[in-house]
Amino acid sequence: MKALIERLKAWDEVTPKRTKILLLLVLVIGPLALFYQFYYQPSKETINVLKEDVKKLDLEIVKYSQVVNKLEFLNKQMAARKEFLEVVKTIFPDEKEIPVILKKIAELAKKNNLDLALFKPEKEELKDYYKIIPITVELVGDFSNMINFLNEIQKLPRLVVINELEFKVKDKRLTLGLNLSTFQYTGKPLETKENKEKK
């Protein structure tokens, strides 16, 4: 170790100051330049690329968040429409339940001690997503029983509309003529000329 120290002292005495400064700069700046060139600069470029990727991903996250929000809104809207459709189906029966409703009307007449003189389903009228089924009914009996019958018709879970009613006395008996309408859910839009032409 003494030999090394003596060699350094000898070198220090012989070497000009300018060479010492230059050597010191090379020893300090060289590693710094190598560090900058081979580590810092590539790392900085990688960081910049990653920052750009993060920005792109943030934009995609915002975009997909909007899609998710819209999807949630559409799902809520779809659920509300399904719920509404179920309510409509409750009020507007499907084809299988029409005979049940017609039978229920006849049962209500019998329950209220009314004679069913006429019960005639008329020609159906098609509308968008439903059809109207008109029914002509003629009942014979007491006025109070007729009023009870009309009240019970209005309380049916299915929609039955009283379009027209007329009280008459026939053969000294009170007669009630009714034009009722019930409805059937079809789930199909009304076919217009434009729809037929498109097909």
CATH number of the domain enclosing 105: 3.30.70.60
Inside any domain, residue 3: yes
pLDDT, one tens digit per residue, over 114-137 is 998 888 888 989 888 788 889 899
Q: Are residues 123 and 138 in the same domain?
A: yes
Question: How would you label 125-153 residue by residue, b for 16+ Cβ within 10 Å and e otherwise?
Answer: eeeeebbbbbbebbbbbeeebbebbbebb
What global pTM score does this model have?
0.55
**Domain-terminating residue out of 58, 73, 91:** 91
Mean pLDDT value of segment 143-164: 89
Inside any domain, residue 190: no
| pLDDT exceeds cutoff 70 at 56 | yes
Q: Are residues 50 and 19 in the same domain?
A: yes
pLDDT at residue 157, rounded to an integer: 79
**Domain-terminating residue out of 91, 121, 138:** 91
Inside any domain, residue 84: yes
At 51, give phi and psi (nearest 5°): -60, -40
Q: Are residues 82 and 13 in the same domain?
A: yes
Please state the domain count of the chain. Answer: 2
Q: Are residues 73 and 158 in the same domain?
A: no
**Domain-terminating residue out of 64, 91, 118:** 91
Q: Are residues 123 and 81 in the same domain?
A: no
pLDDT, one tens digit per residue, over 163-194 is 999 999 988 889 999 999 888 878 788 877 56
pLDDT at residue 199, rounded to an integer: 52
Longest CA–CA span in the chain (Å) reads: 150
To the nearest whole percent, how much of the chain has pLDDT over 90?
Answer: 39
Q: Are residues 128 and 149 in the same domain?
A: yes
Check residues 100 and 108 and name the one with the higher pLDDT: 108
Average pLDDT of the chain, as a whole number: 86
pLDDT at residue 197, rounded to an integer: 59
Sequence letter at residue 7 = R
Segments forming the whole domain that contains residue 70? 1-91
Say if CB 160 and CB 101 are below 8 A apart: yes
For residues 51 and 56, give the distance between their C-alpha atoms in angstroms, rounded to a whole number. Answer: 9
